[in-house]
Structure 1
Amino acid sequence: MKHDLKGFTLVELMVTVAIAAILLTVGVPSLVSLYEGQRANSNISKINSSIQFARSQAVSYGSRVSICPFNGTSCDSDWTNGFSVFIDNGALGSLDSTNGIQDTVLRTVDSFDSNDFITSSLTRYTFNADGLMNLSQTGNIIYCPGDKTNPDSKGFTIGVSGRISTIETSVSCQ
């Protein structure tokens, strides 16, 4: 009597696992690079849209609107901890002693990955009621995912007119 056995032998299973391990070893580094590139695109887009939002709100409200990393009491210099867009009455988060008007936060963006770096030439970008920045406030923001010299780093420049231009050359957060 012949028995029909179904299944895999131990040798077949070991060969399959070995091939899968080789494919993962080759494929995972490129997936990490793909993930970091996608994360860089997403986060630089988030910063870009927040700056465009600040500019449009300045025009809509007919008021000065600023964007900066907000540490709870004032503007900070570390953009990786998140930032706020607010109507800038001069007091950010507290009552201004000169005119008694409190600043109004319009949008907040939570912190980014703790391994990422964001550099900015300014700690605060302010748009006037006409949507323009002060003459001394042109600057750039660069986002680097995971490493200050990551080739997937992205950046843009903000001109006096408030126009945002992508930096086309290679960028780094150093």
Structure 2
Amino acid sequence: MIKKKHGFTLIELMVTLVVATILTVIAVPSFNTLYAQIRSDSSIRKIQQSVQLARNHAIAYGLRVTVCPISEQGCSDDWHNNITVFTDSGTLNLIDGQDKIIYIIGPFNAKDFVSYNRTAIRFQAEGLASGTNGTLSYCPDTINNSYSRAIIVSQSGRVRFSKKKNIECD
């Protein structure tokens, strides 16, 4: 009696590997764009929640609260690196204990671009934002701007997502 052997032949295994390789090569660009879209959505949502946290903290504790990227000299305009939410006594001296860090975000993906048309977002004790309306944009590294997202901070302190499509990334 002849025993039948179970398993794959070398040719069957090679054909399977070739087909899997071709499907992977076709699918990888789609995954890159999907990753850029998900990264953009989650990052702008994280920024929006942090700005909303700053406003809520200002109202709840009756303090001025600032959101900005911090450098040695104070708030900088490099929004790509650590965005910090902190109580603001007006001196920006986190070492002396007057200002306290509430929350830190970042850094973001090295290829992405984050910009805001001001140096900081400041909320007064009543929840009002100082200055005029501002737009904070998050742009992933893709050439297609359709994955770019933005939040708008109004002077009244309201934080909302922008409905504008194809946000320009400078």
Deviates more, 1:19-28 or 1:47-56: 19-28
What TM-score do you get using the length of structure 2 for normalisation? 0.90
Contact 1:83 1:108 in 2 (8 A): yes
**What residue is the counterpart of 1:59 in the other structure?**
59
**What residue is the counterpart of 1:88 in the other structure?**
88
> Matched residue of 1:22: which SS?
helix
**What residue is the counterpart of 1:110 in the other structure?**
106
Cα deviations by residue, 1:52-82 (Å, 9 ceiling, x for unpaired): 0110111111121110001244111111111
> Matched residue of 1:81: which SS?
coil
The answer to whether the aligner puts 1:121 opposite 2:104 as a matched pair is no
**What residue is the counterpart of 1:24 in the other structure?**
24
Alpha carbon RMSD of aligned pairs, Å?
Answer: 1.9
> Matched residue of 1:141: which SS?
strand
Deviates more, 1:62-71 or 1:160-169: 160-169
User: Percent same amino acid at aligned positions?
Assistant: 38
Distance 2:143 2:67 in 1: 23
Change (3 A) 1:72 1:109: farther
Distance 1:55 1:21 in 2: 51
What TM-score do you get using the length of structure 1 for normalisation? 0.88
Q: CA deviation at 1:124?
A: 0.3
The answer to whether the aligner puts 1:141 opposite 2:124 as a matched pair is no
> Matched residue of 1:80: which SS?
coil
Cα deviations by residue, 1:72-97 (Å, 9 ceiling, x for unpaired): 4411111111111111111112578x
Q: CA deviation at 1:146?
A: 1.9
Gaps of 5+ in 2: none
**Residue identity opposite 1:13 in structure 2:** L
Distance 2:144 2:157 in 1: 27
Q: CA deviation at 1:40?
A: 0.9
- 1:159 corresponds, among 138, 142, 154, to 154
Distance 2:33 2:77 in 1: 28
Gaps of 5+ in 1: none
Distance 1:83 1:148 in 2: 25
**Residue identity opposite 1:139 in structure 2:** G
Distance 2:62 2:157 in 1: 15
Change (3 A) 1:137 1:88: farther
Contact 1:150 1:172 in 2 (8 A): yes
Q: CA deviation at 1:115?
A: 1.1
Distance 2:52 2:157 in 1: 8
Query: After the TM superposition, which segments of 4 or more aligned residues of structure 1 sit over 3 Å from their partners?
Result: 147-150
**Residue identity opposite 1:163 in structure 2:** R
